[in-house]
């Protein structure tokens, strides 16, 4: 039992070390985007980082110090609500980003891009890769997300709606601070690109899809899918709302590239089959092979 406990502790240490390494990589990538693309062109990110960038511009204070100082109250606020693990990784990511924004300009100052459009596009992509890497490893660098989670529990608004409102206010403030509505508009575009790239980093390019098939030939279609695609299916008993007839739904999870094939197999057997396809953000577990059936 003692050996087993040591093994668990060893695995935990390895997990923490791996996540901290990726947090470090993510913060360096994010700092590179901020210092070499966004800041030279007066383009901001959303959330606390955006607020920190505006404060740094107006006061001349180091961006890294402001990111840490402005995030700390929200990190403390999240301690009771979002768990110790999340707070620990968020605190480490914030400290790392603060340090990286100080280190990167000294080493990579010659990489600065002065074309605002290119800075907006590539800065957003690079920032999305950095922030996505941080989020994938249980960290965060944006206190507004913690505020949104807290307020969503006390108001009828969702987390996404609260974040959107806060960021609209921040981008409006950017237009005033920089005396340029172009900066504000570029910032909105950068923010959009960043979060699209974050989705790719979080979910991967090989996006999964869940499929529901409603048909009178569920057994034949299910068997065809398992035999021809090497995909497990699940049958769900259901009842038609209008007809009252008992039906068996077919449910399975496939990759984006398999959609056309599963449609063709289904339509070959039942041209009138109803097919519903949804995005799946995360899949865990082993996909059961046909040989198990």
Backbone angles phi, psi at 258, to 5 degrees: -95, 0
H-state helical runs in the chain: 2-33, 47-59, 63-82, 84-108, 116-136, 143-152, 159-177, 181-203, 218-229, 259-269
Q: How far apart are CA 122 and CA 38, in angstroms?
A: 10
- Confidence tier at 259 by pLDDT (50, 70, 90): confident
For the chain, report the end-to-end CA distance as a whole number of angstroms.
Answer: 37
Residue 262 near residue 225, CB atoms below 8 Å: yes
Mean pLDDT of 266-275: 92
- What pLDDT is stored for residue 153 in this prediction? 66
240 pLDDT higher than 60:
yes
- Confidence tier at 11 by pLDDT (50, 70, 90): confident
200-221: pLDDT as tens digits: 787 665 567 889 999 989 999 9
110-119: pLDDT as tens digits: 777 888 899 9
Q: How long a stretch of residues is the chain? A: 293
- As a whole-number percent, the residues of the chain with pLDDT over 90 amount to 31
74 pLDDT higher than 60:
yes
Distances (CA, A) of 175 to 37, 40, 43, 181, 185: 18, 16, 10, 5, 8
Q: How far apart are CA 107 and CA 104, in angstroms?
A: 5
Average pLDDT, the chain: 82
22-39: pLDDT as tens digits: 999 999 999 999 989 998
Mean pLDDT of 138-145: 79
Tell if the pTM clears 0.95, that is, is over it. no
Domains identified in the chain and CATH numbers? 2-203 (no CATH), 208-292 (3.30.70.120)
Q: Which of 111, 124, 266 minimizes the C-alpha distance to 197?
A: 124
3-state secondary structure of 115: coil
67-106 b/e (C-beta count within 10 Å ≥ 16 → b): bbebbeebbebbeeebeeebbbbbbbbbbbbbbbbeebbe
Residue 276 near residue 212, CB atoms below 8 Å: yes
């Amino acid at each position: 039992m003692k050996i087993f406990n040591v093994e668990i502790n060893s695995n935990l240490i390895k997990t923490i070390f791996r996540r901290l390494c990726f947090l470090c990589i993510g913060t360096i990538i994010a700092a590179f985007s901020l210092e070499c693309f966004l800041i030279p062109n007066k383009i901001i990110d959303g959330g606390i980082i955006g607020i920190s960038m505006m404060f740094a511009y107006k006061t001349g204070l180091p961006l890294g110090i402001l990111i840490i100082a402005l995030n700390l109250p929200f990190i403390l606020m999240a301690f009771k609500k979002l768990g110790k693990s999340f707070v620990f990784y968020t605190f480490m990511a914030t400290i790392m980003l603060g340090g990286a924004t100080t280190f990167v300009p000294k080493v990579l100052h010659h990489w600065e891009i002065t074309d605002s459009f290119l800075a907006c596009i590539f800065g957003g992509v690079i920032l999305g890769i950095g922030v996505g890497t941080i989020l994938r490893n249980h960290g965060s660098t944006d206190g507004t997300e913690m505020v949104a989670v807290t307020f969503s529990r006390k108001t009828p608004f969702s987390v996404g709606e609260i974040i959107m409102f806060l960021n609209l206010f921040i981008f409006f403030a950017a237009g005033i601070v920089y005396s340029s509505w172009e900066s504000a508009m570029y910032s909105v575009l950068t923010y959009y690109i960043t979060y699209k790239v974050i989705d790719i980093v979080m979910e991967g390019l090989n996006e999964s899809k869940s499929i529901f098939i409603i048909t009178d030939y569920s057994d034949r279609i299910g068997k065809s899918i398992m035999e021809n695609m090497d995909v497990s299916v699940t049958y769900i008993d259901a009842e038609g709302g209008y007809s009252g007839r008992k039906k068996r739904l077919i449910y399975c999870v496939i990759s984006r590239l398999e959609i056309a094939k599963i449609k063709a197999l289904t339509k070959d057997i039942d041209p009138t089959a109803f097919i519903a396809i949804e995005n799946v953000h995360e899949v865990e577990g082993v996909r059961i092979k046909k040989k198990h059936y």
